Structure 1
Amino acid sequence: MTQPVIFLVGPMGAGKSTIGRLLSKELSIPFKDSDHEIEARSGADIPWIFDVEGEEGFRRRESAVIQQLVEAGPLVIATGGGAILLEENRRLMVGSGTVVYLETSVEQQLSRTARDRKRPLLQTADPRKTLTDLMGIREPLYQQIADITVSTENSNPRMVVQEIVDQLRATVLKKPD
């Protein structure tokens, strides 16, 4: 039996990349970060893509990369915070593997992203309002597609990974062959 793809979804600053690297080691399957893949394949960083192509152009690139990663086989994929905005991405994730929602508060997001200048959506006069508005739109979508929800609020990444692994095992054991 091949292992499915495990998608990590959640807002920026939830720890998707950090958790993803640790989870891939724990499960002995490769890890890919969709944002890093977009940058590597396009030769441009995400802020530049946003400036030149806008969010819509970035989302098209993101969709294509996620589709290609899914076709590559068993992986842990850290998605961008807005990847769930497109229905085609949500359908792909739900149909191709297990979706893990890494939940965190706006306070934690602010703390974790305060010095990060590579987040185009936060280059605003009021990052708190931006994060709150984004959460209002995105959180119902994260919840809608999540097979597993784990809080990263004030949590050690290794503890979060262990909780995910425990829930993955429980989910796999519940599924009939």
Structure 2
Amino acid sequence: MEAILIGFMGSGKTTVGRLLAQQLQTTHADLDELIVARAGQPITAIFEQQGEAYFRQAEHVTLKAALKQPGILSTGGGTATIAANVAILMASSTPVIWLDATDATILARVAADAGRPLVNSLDLAALLQLKQQRAAWYAQAADLVISTDALTPAEICHEIVTWLAQPTQLAAQG
């Protein structure tokens, strides 16, 4: 992996990950899509039929496998909130980048998205409380934090590419 993107749902991980992979001429993997491919069913069905604990275990196994591949990895919003996953991310030599966004931005991006199990099961106050709770986990795992609110995906990619090109980053990745 060249970079791992973490952050709350709606922060732009998949959109930025795809664009970043294009710019760096590498592959992009979305952890949620990898889980769906392995399970043979959508995430909403996994949550409904097997529960969140089952999903998190599948996510952990899939994360370990994905980190062995080249490219950019966009994680799910809850990936970096599981202690075992945080330990894997922190032990990895791959830079972990937290894409952060304000509550208003997150709500605008995810409020009508029926494909997100937690959006379907939580009211807005609970969703924002979950975002606040997850922030400490994201901060612990992140090597770089980018606030995405006022930036386009292209501008976010530019910040990441510039940061990755710094000599201290090149030495850390080597």
Common fold: TM-score over 0.5:
yes
Q: What amino acid does structure 2 have at the position aligned with 1:6?
A: A
Residue of structure 1 equivalent to 2:30? 33
User: In 2, are the aligned partners of 1:106 and 1:131 still within 8 Å (CA)?
Assistant: no
Residue of structure 2 equivalent to 1:131? 127
Residue of structure 2 equivalent to 1:101? 98
Aligned match for 1:77, one of 48, 73, 76: 73
> How far off is 1:172 after superposition?
2.0
Trace 1:19-168 onto structure 2 (pairs within 5 A): 19-72=16-69, 74-96=70-92, 97-124=94-121, 126=123, 128-168=124-164
What is the SS of the residue equivalent to 1:100? strand
What is the SS of the residue equivalent to 1:134? helix
What is the SS of the residue equivalent to 2:165? helix
> How far off is 1:125 after superposition?
6.0
User: In 1, are the aligned partners of 2:81 and 2:138 still within 8 Å (CA)?
Assistant: no
Residue of structure 2 equivalent to 1:18? 15
User: C-alpha separation between the residues in 2 aligned to 1:9 and 1:15?
Assistant: 9
> How far off is 1:154 after superposition?
2.9
User: C-alpha separation between the residues in 1 aligned to 2:79 and 2:102?
Assistant: 19
Moved over 4 A (4+): 173-177
User: In 1, are the aligned partners of 2:111 and 2:119 still within 8 Å (CA)?
Assistant: no
TM value normalised by structure 2? 0.92
Structure 2, unaligned runs of 5 or more: none
User: In 2, are the aligned partners of 1:101 and 1:149 still within 8 Å (CA)?
Assistant: yes
Q: What amino acid does structure 2 have at the position aligned with 1:150?
A: I
Q: Quick one: percent identity of the two aligned structures?
A: 34
User: In 1, are the aligned partners of 2:11 and 2:101 still within 8 Å (CA)?
Assistant: yes
User: C-alpha separation between the residues in 2 aligned to 1:172 and 1:154?
Assistant: 25
> How far off is 1:85 after superposition?
1.7
User: C-alpha separation between the residues in 1 aligned to 2:158 and 2:15?
Assistant: 13
